[in-house]
Amino acid sequence: MTELAHDRRGSGEPLVLVHGLGSRRQAWKPAMELAAQAREVIAVDLPGFGESPPDAAGTRLTVSDHADRLERFFAETGIERPHIGGSSTGGGIALELGRRGAVRSVTAFSPIGFWGRPGQVWCRWSLRGGYEIARRLPEDAQSITATRLSMFVFSFGRPFHAPAEEVMDAAASARDAPGFVDALTYGLDYRFTEPGALREIPLTIAWGGRDVLLPAWTQARRARQLLPRARHVRLPRCGHIPFYDDPKLCARVLLEGSGGG
């Protein structure tokens, strides 16, 4: 089995970072560099995304399947019961790993699974729309502004804060990911259940105030209802992927969620 592509920085207690559907490990970069001052931080590409090839079994992986794969990754790389941070689909995977007792703490940024049927459909079709936009944009400097504006809807709350190279690379990565299309169906077919299974570990749920993909005004509220004992954090002026919007705040949320800085 091919090892998942990943970056490791820093030292201390291990903190694994898991991206969302259509993203890649570099999405965490600015927050990861700050968090690595107090943790050994490992950012990973899920199968079929970034630099990780699809698993031999194919790319039709559910949240539970991804959690299985990450548990094997922990064993392969000698990571013993890490803290975990997850974004979007990665947040759902982090919650599943927390439910299993495979991690020390969970910090989930705008996690999937707290939606009703309309919210689930909206997310699926919005991501598909962003994918089609990325496929049609010309690959030259003239497309940077258009890409930033599309990212405003689907990813960043402050798209002009991210470097142009990151904006273009993120769009190209989503467009070219072999796991993207199947993940729209299988990776998003997830509802959060069993809140009682997470009572024994520290749990943080963070939500961008400008997240329009998984809107905070409905889904963060549902997360509070289902997980009243969790630490709930609002990220002002941040979108669905907040790590370029406010890296200092995101790093602080990760460190506090994993036991303090």
**CA angle (35, 248, 130) in 5-degree steps:** 95
Tokens of 180: 């993207």
Write down all domains in the chain, each with its CATH number in brackets. 6-257 (3.40.50.1820)
Coil vs helix vs strand at 252? helix
Average pLDDT (205-219) is 94
Average pLDDT (61-76) is 93
Per mean pLDDT, which range of 19-28, 128-137, 190-199, 208-217 is the poorest? 128-137
Q: pLDDT-based confidence at 80, cuts 50/70/90?
A: very high
Residues ≥6 apart with Cβ < 8 Å to 45: 4, 5, 6, 19, 24, 25, 51, 52
Q: Which amino acid is at 10?
A: G
- pLDDT given at position 141: 44
Instruction: Please give the Cα distance from 214 to 50 (Å, whole number).
Output: 22
Tokens of 171: 């769009």
Q: For the segment 3-58, what is each residue's pLDDT rounded down to a tens digit? A: 899 999 999 999 999 999 888 999 999 999 999 999 999 999 999 899 998 876 55
